[in-house]
Amino acid sequence: MDVEAVIEEVLPRVRPTEEERAFVEGLMKELEKLAVETIVELDLEVKPYFVGSLAKDTYLAGDHDIDLFLAFPLKTPLEELRKKGLELGRAIAKRLDSYEIAYAEHPYVRAYYRGVKVDIVPCYDVKSWRDVRTAVDRSILHNRWVLENLGGRNDEVRLLKRFLKGIKAYGSEIYVRGFSGYLAEILVIKYGSFLEVLQKEDFILRQKVIDPGNWLKREPEIAMKTVKREAEEDRPLIVIDPVDPRRNVAANLGWERYGVFHFKAHQFLEAPSLSFFFPEEKAGGSYLEELRRKGTHMVTLLFEKPNLVDDVLMPQLERSARGFERALQREGFRVLEWNVGHFRGKAFIMLEVDRLEREKVRIKPGPEFFTERGWDFYRKNERVWLRGKRLYAEKRVKEGIVDVISELLSKNQISLGKNLRKHVGDADVLLDYVPEELEEEAYLLLNREKWNLKR
């Protein structure tokens, strides 16, 4: 298939149908009405805004998450915004199907209504970047900028988002480190279309700095400070936020995800295929067979999942895995690869290691040489020597990795995520075995399919 034929097949699958649009628009009108009624009932000076891909009409078919922002006046003290914002969010959510309190920079409400997730988030009613006081405030400005600049290229954004999802490079969450939806929108606005973004992939990386808001001319001092800071952090890409010169939109984009995009963009242009957008699920395999094939071993720590959102939990799990990697390698165990995650209230750290036991030499002090016990010590040990009149021997012992891990944890010699130390200390340590729910994760880890660029 040529590029145009592939795109023709992809578009109907990523573009929402008229029925879907009607459902989404109806849902948003209902939510807006509920929000306004609740704001009036609580006698608050708050404006409801919809932000995100639904509000910008860049959402993918079937992806209906709604972001309802409750904008408080700038004069509102931050503590009052947090308190009243949560109170208002909860009051709105009580009229929906179900809800829970979630935590980011400040508490917000995550609700569900007619099968759709609705995040209800308090923020400030900002008019410019100079008004921004919390991390979420910019979302209103982002929405406005995209709507003003997209110019009917909504489907081009959908193609790029679906491509990024298909190659597993989508999502700015710290545990993904991929492309955010907003970054995808900016790239399409900047370069014109999905195909032009792919064709300019090498140029984008070489250019390094993208400045769609022209901040380097409008606010050169602030913008250059952003560029310098992000360059020192060795980001793959610096995209100065068109609504705020202090921010790099691509700050969370990691080299690995950009690298995947780099290879896949070239591969798609050389040999276009639907599989880049909708990859076929590969048949799983046996992690036990992989262990036998490679002659390696697997250590899995399984523990209670702390009550943390993924944006906080996953980086701490990753930090802990790297801590285990360093500590075990100091102790003579080579960590070949690791993986982290959680399922059904449990968190896990999975380590592929080269061995489960190590030989260790211990010096064993004995009695004085001229005693009966001295002769006994001399006969029982292979390497014996004197220091003054006392005998010493060298003893080789086998030490298992579980005992080493236990000792390292007890002595606080593993760098762990700050909220995980107690949980990891109480972990079950599994050797060459994982629960059924983790069998696929273990297989993908051991055969490297999770990160394979050539699949």
Provide the pLDDT for residue 174.
78
Question: Domain for residue 455, yes or no?
Answer: yes
Say if residue 455's pLDDT is above 60: no
Question: Domain for residue 135, yes or no?
Answer: no
Q: Which amino acid is at 100?
A: E
Q: What is the pLDDT of residues 71-128, one digit of tens each?
A: 999 999 999 999 999 999 999 999 998 988 877 667 889 999 999 999 999 999 999 9
Provide the pLDDT for residue 452.
63
Q: Which of 218, 246, 276 is the last residue of a domain?
A: 276
Provide the pLDDT for residue 397.
72
How many angstroms separate the Cα of 103 from the Cα of each of 100, 136, 228, 358?
10, 13, 31, 43
E-state strands within 125-239: 209-210, 238-239
Provide the pLDDT for residue 224.
97
Task: Please check whether residue 185 is in contact with residue 143, taking contact to mean a CB–CB distance below 8 angstroms.
Answer: no
60 vs 68: CA distance, rounded Å: 18
More confidently predicted of 141 and 174: 141
Q: Is 193 found in the same domain as 169?
A: yes
Provide the pLDDT for residue 178.
94
Segment 291-304 mean pLDDT: 95
Say if residue 454's pLDDT is above 60: no
Provide the pLDDT for residue 173.
82
Per-chain mean pLDDT for the chain: 92
397 vs 389: CA distance, rounded Å: 26
Q: Is 88 found in the same domain as 115?
A: yes
Q: Is 434 found in the same domain as 303?
A: yes
288 vs 439: CA distance, rounded Å: 9
Q: Enter the pTM of the model.
A: 0.81
Q: Is 51 found in the same domain as 125?
A: yes
Residue with tokens 């009409």: 57
Q: Is 194 found in the same domain as 56?
A: no
Segment 374-394 mean pLDDT: 89
At residue 207's C-alpha, the angle toward residues 202 and 213, to 5°, is: 125
Provide the pLDDT for residue 102.
79
Provide the pLDDT for residue 450.
60
Segment 330-352 mean pLDDT: 93
What sign has the CA pseudo-torsion 435, 437, 443, 444?
Answer: negative
Say if residue 398's pLDDT is above 80: no
Segment 39-67 mean pLDDT: 95
How is residue 416 written in tokens? 């762990």
171 vs 253: CA distance, rounded Å: 9
Domain residues for the domain of 124 are: 15-129
How many angstroms separate the Cα of 393 from the Cα of each of 171, 381, 386?
59, 6, 9
446 vs 443: CA distance, rounded Å: 5
Least confident of 57-61, 79-83, 367-371: 367-371
Is residue 362 very low, low, confident or very high in pLDDT (cuts 50, 70, 90)? confident
Q: Is 409 found in the same domain as 316?
A: yes
Sheet holding 383-387, edge to edge: 357-368, 390-400, 383-387
